[in-house]
Structure 1
């Protein structure tokens, strides 16, 4: 088992929070782009949607690891 320091755990938590702040904003901007829609979603939109979903998933996982590390370091 690897023990994370509070400093590293804090960085991972900050990364998770940053991901949830940046990627929804990015999706909102892509949603409004004229290249995203042409009688339905375009490939441009779908590729960026996959990017956002994967990035939010990774940001959530990394943030959760940070929270677990923070709690373990506190003990």
Structure 2
């Protein structure tokens, strides 16, 4: 893997975390996320699953980039 690709993957991983943390905060604060009785709506559950999967994928992609950078320096 080239250093350029490794940097891109690492940057993508970091960017993914920044974006999805913001999304999660907005999701939590949204009136669409909660029913009048205080329980979570299906809108919330679906988007929470999307957020969790995106955190996992962003982490994996970032780790691949980090490992690529470490190997290119050696």
TM-score, scaled to structure 2: 0.94
Give the equivalent residue in structure 2 for 1:52. Answer: 51
**Matched residue SS, 1:62:** helix
Q: Which runs of structure 1 show a deviation greater than 2 angstroms over 4 or more consecutive aligned residues?
A: none
Q: How many residues are paired up?
A: 72
Deviation, 1:46, is 0.4
1:30 Cα deviation from its structure 2 partner: 1.1
Partner residue, 1:70:
69
Q: Gapped runs of 5+ residues in structure 1?
A: none
Q: Residue 14 of structure 2 aligns to a residue in which SS?
A: helix
Task: Tell whether 2:30 aligns with 1:24.
Answer: no
Alignment root-mean-square deviation, CA: 0.6
Shift, 1:66, TM fit: 0.3
> Any stretches of 5+ residues in structure 2 without a counterpart?
none
- Name the residue aligned to 1:8: 5
